[in-house]
A = this chain, B = another copy of it.
Amino acid sequence: MAQLILATYPPPLDPAQEQFLVSTIKDWTIQNGLTVRPPPNFVPEEAGQKGVLATNAPVTLFPSPFPKSCFEEARAVQTVYNELYAEISRDEKWLGEIMEELIDVDDFISNLWKVHLAVKKEGYVQKLSLGLFRSDYMVHTPPGSTAPSLKQVEFNTISSSFGGLSSRVTAMHTELLSSPPGFPISYPRHTLLDGKLPPENTAVETLSAGLAAAHTAYGSSKSSPSLPLCILFIVQENERNIFDQLALSTRLTNFHKIPVFRLKTSEILDRTSIPASNPSRPLVYTPPHSRSTPFEVTTVYLRSFYAPTDYKLDRDWAARTQLERSAAIKCPTVLNQLSGCKKVQQVLADPNRADHLARFLPGKDQATVARIRETFAPQYDLAPGGRGRELALNPETAANHVLKPQREGGGNNIYKTDIPEFLRSTPETEWKRWVLMELIQPPAEAKNIVLRSDGQVVSGNVVGELGIFGTILWSSDGEILHNKEGGWLMRTKGKESNEGGVAAGFSSLDSIVLY
């Protein structure tokens, strides 16, 4: 029944209807900051360098239908997930054993681990850690299943993005569904849209409240004389997705009344310092435009430093170390960042490994732990003689799997029957870099239409990925000071593109209507 309705969605558009929706969305996105800086191949370098042009973020014309039961389940388990990853980050020994398997094949993980070890040796001065997480899911509908289920694609512990823009896509689809007021005719009629609006999306409020909770928990200035306090956003050079980030800093400034500054990774060592004479190690930030008014940083929010390309020079590792050893609350710490790597997810989800879940969630009942486990798709390493290697090398079983690198960056996954050949052409010593995951089977009939950032309108079969946002503030001694779920992201990708990377134009921002 549901599948029959889905197959007719979205309702067909005649040229005038498409023209109306596309032009309305082109204007709405700019009016409401649902924007990105334009891709370099779209504007000439000279105009681009002025840094003034913007264009719409890639968005769908229609919200996508999503099973209500799956949406509710994803929300229901989020605070448990928050706790799980806080607990994993606290277990340095367990995490260290997993990292050990990767250190000799992965420079990036190795270098991150070294930052942790260096600070550990000196001694951490901040017991609190902040997580702004996003758990990403797909709807799983294998042939013969009676009801759709929820399967986790990945769990993000650093730079979980698109909370800002996602809220705005929700607002846009909501406005289109209800306009003009009293006589909604922006969309052609369809059962799935009739009287429906997307669920509330509180991503901006939730993520900002997490940062504000850390800011408050930091307490008073540790400098003498004491300094005004601020939150610091660490950002990349030439960030195209800046308006997503500004949604959070604006909320922090205007609602929470907290000073926020943005600082590029390359400028950390120039603009911040830790007074050598102060054993509390406050992180002092001096705004270049007001050098006589230094601030003390309560919370460092990383929207950079998540990928190897963010560390071009030794200086960048020194900068990361400076943040890590400071008294500022990190979002995230190095350990929390590492807890989000694919290998950890694989170990948790490996049906042939010991049950780590229950150990990390000692306070939860069996049913709750089982609900978390239900969201896992089976995942394996490629250890010699193991089940994963067997499944990956046999073309028949490989056809039901995807091979993922430890780190994602777009375009690096190996799919299905390509897996055996790929592995045979790769030295066996490298196999540790990869995780084998059973394929999630999303509804095959899903379709949508996308307005890309370059103005192209593309329609076709799509796959949707739902992210649920959560924030948690915890202490290294196990106390949890703040643990919230709230807000979501729907990303919709053309069937031909298998990875995320909305900003790169492969996929688009969407919202949902529940069915």
Q: Which of A27, A43, A253 counts the most chain B CB atoms within 10 A?
A: A27
- Nearest to A23 among chain B residues (CB) is B51
- Chain B residues positioned under 8 Å from A246 (CB to CB): 27, 31
**For window 447-473 of chain A, which residues contact chain B by CB distance below 8 Å?**
451, 453-456
- Chain B residues positioned under 8 Å from A2 (CB to CB): none
A181 interface contact, C-beta 8 A: yes
A54 in contact with B33 (CB, 8 Å): no
Q: How far is the CB of A256 from chain B (nearest CB, A)?
A: 8
**For window 280-298 of chain A, which residues contact chain B by CB distance below 8 Å?**
287-290, 293, 295
- Chain B residues positioned under 8 Å from A16 (CB to CB): 288-289
A220 interface contact, C-beta 8 A: no
A38-67 CB mask vs B (1 if < 8 Å, else 0) is: 100011100100111111100000000000
A105 interface contact, C-beta 8 A: no
Count chain A residues whose beta carbon lies closer than 8 angstroms to a beta carbon of B. 58
- Chain B residues positioned under 8 Å from A250 (CB to CB): 31
A288 in contact with B180 (CB, 8 Å): no
A19 in contact with B289 (CB, 8 Å): yes
A84 interface contact, C-beta 8 A: no
A503 interface contact, C-beta 8 A: no
Tell me the bound Cα distance from A260 to B293 in angstroms.
49
B259 in contact with A290 (CB, 8 Å): no
A43 in contact with B53 (CB, 8 Å): yes
Tell me the bound Cα distance from A23 to B262 in angstroms.
11
A414 interface contact, C-beta 8 A: no
Tell me the bound Cα distance from A16 to B23 in angstroms.
39
- Chain B residues positioned under 8 Å from A47 (CB to CB): 42-43, 454
A293 in contact with B55 (CB, 8 Å): no
**For window 407-466 of chain A, which residues contact chain B by CB distance below 8 Å?**
451, 453-456
A369 interface contact, C-beta 8 A: no
B230 in contact with A180 (CB, 8 Å): yes
Tell me the bound Cα distance from A230 to B53 in angstroms.
34
Tell me the bound Cα distance from A186 to B290 in angstroms.
8
B26 in contact with A52 (CB, 8 Å): yes
- Chain B residues positioned under 8 Å from A125 (CB to CB): none
A180 in contact with B259 (CB, 8 Å): yes
- Chain B residues positioned under 8 Å from A31 (CB to CB): 33, 35, 243, 246-247, 250
A111 interface contact, C-beta 8 A: no
- Chain B residues positioned under 8 Å from A26 (CB to CB): 51-52
Q: A27-B246, A38-B53, A288-B20 are in contact. Are A259 and B182 (CB under 8 A)?
A: yes
B42 in contact with A54 (CB, 8 Å): no
Within the complex, which residue of B53, B56, B242, B254 is in contact with A27, where a contact is CB–CB below 8 Å?
B242
Tell me the bound Cα distance from A454 to B54 in angstroms.
12
Q: How far is the CB of A11 from chain B (nearest CB, A)?
A: 12
Tell me the bound Cα distance from A230 to B182 in angstroms.
11
A185 interface contact, C-beta 8 A: yes
Q: How far is the CB of A295 from chain B (nearest CB, A)?
A: 8
A183 interface contact, C-beta 8 A: yes
Tell me the bound Cα distance from A19 to B267 in angstroms.
15
A307 interface contact, C-beta 8 A: no
Q: How far is the CB of A226 from chain B (nearest CB, A)?
A: 13
B52 in contact with A52 (CB, 8 Å): no
Tell me the bound Cα distance from A175 to B259 in angstroms.
12
Tell me the bound Cα distance from A26 to B51 in angstroms.
7
Q: A33-B32, A42-B47 are in contact. Are A181 and B257 (CB under 8 A)?
A: yes
A173-196 CB mask vs B (1 if < 8 Å, else 0) is: 001000111110110000000000
Within the complex, which residue of B30, B179, B247 is in contact with A243, where a contact is CB–CB below 8 Å?
B30
B259 in contact with A455 (CB, 8 Å): no
The 10 closest A-B pairs by CB, nearest first: A50-B455, A180-B259, A20-B289, A185-B290, A181-B257, A31-B33, A16-B288, A52-B455, A30-B54, A17-B289
Question: A residues near B, CB below 8 A?
Answer: 16-17, 19-21, 23, 26-27, 30-33, 35, 38, 42-44, 47, 50-56, 175, 179-183, 185-186, 228, 230, 242-243, 246-247, 250, 253-254, 257-261, 287-290, 293, 295, 451, 453-456
A30-B54, A43-B53, A182-B257 provided; 20 other pairs, C-beta below 8 A? A19-B289, A27-B246, A30-B30, A30-B35, A31-B247, A31-B250, A32-B33, A43-B43, A50-B456, A51-B455, A52-B56, A52-B455, A179-B253, A180-B261, A181-B257, A182-B259, A183-B293, A183-B295, A185-B290, A186-B289
What are 30 A-B residue pairs whose CB atoms fall within 8 Å in the complex? A16-B288, A19-B288, A20-B288, A21-B289, A23-B51, A26-B51, A27-B246, A30-B33, A31-B35, A31-B243, A33-B33, A50-B456, A52-B55, A52-B56, A52-B451, A52-B453, A52-B454, A54-B54, A54-B55, A179-B253, A179-B259, A180-B230, A180-B253, A181-B253, A181-B258, A183-B259, A183-B295, A185-B289, A185-B290, A185-B293
